């Protein structure tokens, strides 16, 4: 379906559609703004004395409990549409990359890192990859026909393991020392 056809079906001007959704793929992946900003938001809004890892773990587990789309919950039909479309799959991969970049910027700011410091970028890559693989597990279990409750139980166990693997290296990284 073209943007013109979508605009006609919605009875709006084509420009209206493109103002809200600059890319056709974003019509399907309409949580892109929330998705790409989510990890950075979890870090910048974390509690005092909470590490970035702890905040991201807490935020992910809460999203699982809510069956939130940003954690991968979408329903089988939608998950199949995304996985069967190379264009949507590529856009989702790009959104994961944008989310990682936003997290890297937030970690750099939170740790007052210099522009050339690779540590925030490396930490963001590890933390975002944890979210990416858990997101994919939610999608895979959705496609396998599992209920949201079954998915939440399975992915919660996986999340504890995955975030646990990161604990020795990132458990004390970017601990919030208070806000000025």
Is residue 177 in some structural domain? Answer: no
Q: What is the pTM of this model?
A: 0.87
Q: Is the pLDDT of residue 81 over 60?
A: yes
Q: Please answer whether residues 99 and 38 qualify as being in contact, where contact means their C-beta atoms are separated by less than 8 angstroms.
A: yes
Q: What is the pLDDT of residues 10-39, one digit of tens each?
A: 676 767 656 666 666 666 566 778 999 999
Structure tokens at 74: 């979408």
Q: Please tell me whether residues 43 and 21 are part of one structural domain.
A: no
Average confidence (pLDDT) over 76-101: 93
For residues 16 and 43, membership in a common domain is answered with no
For residue range 51-76, what is the model confidence (pLDDT) as tens digits? 999 999 999 999 999 999 999 999 99
**């998705």: which residue's tokens?**
35
Which residues span the domain enclosing 125?
31-170
Rounded distance between C-alpha atoms, residue 35 and residue 98, angstroms = 9
Same domain, 22 and 61: no
Helix H, strand E, coil C: the string for 90-127 is HHHHHHHHHHHHHHHHHHHHHCCCCCCCCHHHHHHHHH
- Determine the average pLDDT of the residues in 94-123: 94
Same domain, 12 and 49: no
Segment 129-153 mean pLDDT: 98
Q: How many domains does the chain have?
A: 2
Report pLDDT for 128. Answer: 98
Residues 16, 61: one domain?
no
Distance between CA 107 and CA 125 in Å, rounded? 11
| Percentage above 70 pLDDT, the chain | 83
Banded pLDDT at 93 (limits 50, 70, 90): very high
Same domain, residue pair 13 and 63: no
Task: Give a yes or no: residue 10 inside a domain.
Answer: yes
Q: Average pLDDT for residues 73-93, to the nearest whole number?
A: 92
The reply to whether 113 falls in a domain is: yes
Q: Are residues 21 and 39 in the same domain?
A: no
Question: Is residue 153's pLDDT more than 60?
Answer: yes
Position 155 scores a pLDDT of 98
The reply to whether 81 falls in a domain is yes
């Amino acid at each position: 379906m073209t943007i013109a056809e979508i605009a006609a079906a919605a009875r709006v001007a084509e420009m209206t559609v493109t103002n809200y959704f600059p890319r056709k793929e974003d019509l399907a992946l309409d949580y892109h703004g929330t998705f790409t900003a989510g990890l950075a938001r979890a870090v910048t809004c974390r509690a005092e004395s909470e590490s970035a890892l702890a905040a991201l773990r807490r935020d992910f587990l809460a999203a699982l409990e809510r069956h939130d789309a940003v954690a991968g919950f979408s329903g089988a039909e939608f998950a199949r549409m995304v996985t069967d479309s190379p264009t949507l799959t590529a856009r989702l991969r790009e959104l994961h990359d944008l989310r990682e970049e936003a997290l890297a910027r937030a970690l750099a700011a939170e740790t007052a890192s210099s522009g050339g410091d690779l540590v925030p970028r490396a930490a963001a890559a590890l933390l975002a990859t944890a979210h990416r693989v858990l997101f994919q597990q939610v999608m895979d279990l959705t496609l396998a026909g599992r209920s949201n409750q079954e998915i939440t139980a399975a992915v919660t166990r996986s999340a504890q393991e995955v975030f646990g693997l990161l604990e020795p290296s990132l458990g004390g990284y970017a601990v919030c020392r208070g806000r000025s």
